[in-house]
Structure 1
Amino acid sequence: MIFERILKELSRDKRTLALVFLAPLLVLGLLYLILQSNTNLSARLGTENVSPNLMKQLKKNSKINLVAINNKRSISRNLKKYHLAALLKQKNQKLTVTYQNADTSLTAVVKENLVKSITKDQIKSIKSKINQSQQELNSVIKSLPTTEQKAIESKLGSKKNGNSLSLSEKYIYGNANSSLFTAIAPVLVGFLVFFFVFLISGVSLLQERTTGTLGRLLTSPVKRQEIIAGYVGAYGLLAILQTIVVVIYAIYVLGINSRGSIWLVMLINLLLALVALSMGLLVSTLASSEFQMIQFIPILIVPQVFFSGMFNLSDMNSFWRIFAHIFPMYYGGDALIDVIKKGAGIENIGIDLLILAAFAVILISINIIGLRRYRRV
């Protein structure tokens, strides 16, 4: 009897069935699209005064898009202006590559293909010099004494060694040993703030409804906007405290290196918390139990992980890149990466901040309108 009753209840609960059967397919599909595109990543490499021979080898790499740099701007400014993964400079036989390292996957692409190109260039140069040396030796070996032959061989050997390329590496963010945590930490901080504020605010308002507290408020003279303002204010204060604790812990305890202002990091996370708060309140009005509230997580929260900046989307299908723009974490993650990894100022992330603020305003307005369904007369 219990078995049959539970099966009947489940068959009537369309949300649970969707959670069980469709949500895993959604998550797996997104993982496939993102991870599959990451296997074909290409990186933008700036080049300045690089020898023609090495340029030819670099152009043969399909995973490197070359950008010629010919200005007096600083390396960091050129990296930002041209959206470069790295900048390669050459002075005589010394190569210096500066990695932005904001995305370690792009850094890995440049490293792998740069080493291949330099190796091929050196092998080609050595072969050329060996052939040239052999021809020179063959032409004079019969006409010169042994002592002079040795002098020529010594000269050619020193010339060959002096022409080999050397490569030094520099990093704008992090270092050569940057871990996976270092790469995703800026976005992870924002996502954790977003997720927990969403969960706490949504479940709390749901409890207010199920216990009748919200119903009593709605029958009182209190206006709907005042009710929402009260919830946003109270949980907003909690979100502010949580944001401060998380950001301070991440930067000063875990040692996440922030090249930008910590106050901007705080501001971005506060806006994310406000969006999560208003989204949690909205979802709680659509759910009738805590279980139904949790059912929204795979649909609304999990996809935001994939589009938050933890994964590189540059080689992803254009449709899915456009689809990513409907998620608040896309803009929050973009702003956090720009500030923490690239040292961006508020003028560089102004659009992201405005969009996050717009998300919050729209969701709060929908919340106010949505309370009409609970108004009792």
Structure 2
Amino acid sequence: MIHLAKRVILQTINDKRSVMMILVAPLLILTLIYFLLGNSDYVPTVGVDKSALSNPLVTALEEQDLHVRGITKDEDQDATEYLKDHHDVDAILTLSQSSGMNITMYEPSTKGAKAASEIQAAMASLNPSAKIEMSYVYGTQEQSSFDSLGYVFLALFSFFLVFIISGMALVRERSGGTLERLLMTPIKRGEVILGYTLGYGVFAIIQAILVVLYAIFVLQLSSAGNIGWILLTMVLLAVTAVSFGATISIFASSELQVVQMIPFTIIPQVFFSGLIPLDLIPYHLGNLSYIMPIYYGAAAIKGVMVYGDGFFQIWGYLLGLVIYTCLLYLVNSQALKKFRKI
């Protein structure tokens, strides 16, 4: 028994990837979570028509952890359009004789919740029994977590599952000698990559279409935009996942090693998929989203499902996925040189 335990320990120590996954990966993920979910020094901005509010209330708002921005009477009355044009404003506080106090926010979010909390604290300091109604430009306070974050799960599940299947399958092809024998023929490296991408891409596309249709028509996930743009985004994201899996498989010699790379390649992307507002992440770490394919897919899907965007609003994200896939194709083609016997 002792000898067996020693052999397992020595084998694990000699496997650098296992050591990294056991010792380094948890520290990396915990550090990332600390930065993303730790206390944020973000100060929300609230728009108010100061002429419509009492001086004590304006003073109370300014004493809170808020940026108070003055807006005109017309902007105050059309808060929805104002928030659509001014994304740097997190909420608008309005006062009317019919509905009383109302906080209008762009969408349910961490930033809007913080702004509402500070406004309520200011109101409570003057009138603890005051009631404030809340409304959103997009979404409602009553919607479920699945409705508000469904677009994230569509992107994550599609990308992760396709990545696992394609990455492991390509490693199996190489360990079985199929890839080496194929490269001994006159076929070009680029054609090999395209062949694998198209082959696994077919199943990835079918999965993407099935997931979208099931989520919308069976699970009743609401979508404000055209379902066709969601399908297109999911297809591009699935093809990118195939290429991403092929890239990771090049640096893995077994299926286990593909799994070992998940903490470093997939889990960090989860935090940049829309679960957390990027401008709340300290040290400008939100900019890391631009090197993560899930960000482009999730942002495009959110635009369609939440905001009702069309092609002209999401084309930049779609282009990002296309560029990402092309870059991975070039990387994969070059990496196959080490498997071709000359």
Q: Same fold per TM (> 0.5)?
A: yes
Cα distance in 1 between the residues matched to 2:148 and 2:275: 8
Cα distance in 2 between the residues matched to 1:237 and 1:75: 46
Q: For 1:108-152, what per-residue CA distance to the aligned partner results, in whole angstroms no more than 9, with x for missing partners?
A: 2233222232333447xxxxxxxxxxxxxxxxxxxxxxxxxxxxx
- Cα gap change, 1:279 to 1:86, in 2 (>3 Å): same
- Cα gap change, 1:335 to 1:74, in 2 (>3 Å): farther
- What is the percent sequence identity of the aligned residues? 34
CA contact (8 A) 1:37 1:313 kept: no
Aligned to 1:209: 174
Which of 95, 110, 115 is the aligned partner of 2:115? 110
Unmatched segments (≥5 aa) in structure 2? none
1:60 paired with 2:66, answer no
Worse-matched range after superposition: 192-201 or 315-324? 315-324
Aligned to 1:190: 155
What is the Cα deviation at residue 305 of structure 1?
Answer: 0.7
What is the Cα deviation at residue 268 of structure 1?
Answer: 2.2
AA matched with 1:78: Y
Unmatched segments (≥5 aa) in structure 1? 124-163
Q: Aligned-residue CA RMSD in angstroms?
A: 2.4
Show structure 1 runs of 4+ deviating over 6 A: none
Alignment coverage as a number of residue pairs: 334
What is the Cα deviation at residue 223 of structure 1?
Answer: 1.5
Cα distance in 1 between the residues matched to 2:9 and 2:124: 65
- Cα gap change, 1:341 to 1:57, in 2 (>3 Å): farther
1:356 paired with 2:283, answer no
| Structure exhibiting the larger radius of gyration computed from Cα positions | 1
Aligned to 1:33: 35
- Cα gap change, 1:168 to 1:77, in 2 (>3 Å): same
AA matched with 1:338: G
What is the Cα deviation at residue 334 of structure 1?
Answer: 2.6
Secondary structure in 1 aligned to 2:92?
strand
Aligned to 2:103: 97
AA matched with 2:138: Y
CA contact (8 A) 2:103 2:116 kept: no
The residue correspondences of 1:90-239 to structure 2 (distance < 5 A) are: 90-92=95-97, 94-103=100-109, 105-122=110-127, 167-239=132-204
Taking structure 2 as the reference length, the TM-score comes to 0.88
Cα distance in 2 between the residues matched to 1:342 and 1:68: 26
Aligned to 1:43: 44
Which of 4, 7, 10 is the aligned partner of 1:5? 7
Taking structure 1 as the reference length, the TM-score comes to 0.80
CA contact (8 A) 1:331 1:356 kept: yes
What is the Cα deviation at residue 61 of structure 1?
Answer: 1.8
Cα distance in 2 between the residues matched to 1:252 and 1:50: 46
What is the Cα deviation at residue 259 of structure 1?
Answer: 1.9
- Cα gap change, 1:297 to 1:224, in 2 (>3 Å): same
AA matched with 2:254: S
- Cα gap change, 1:368 to 1:181, in 2 (>3 Å): same
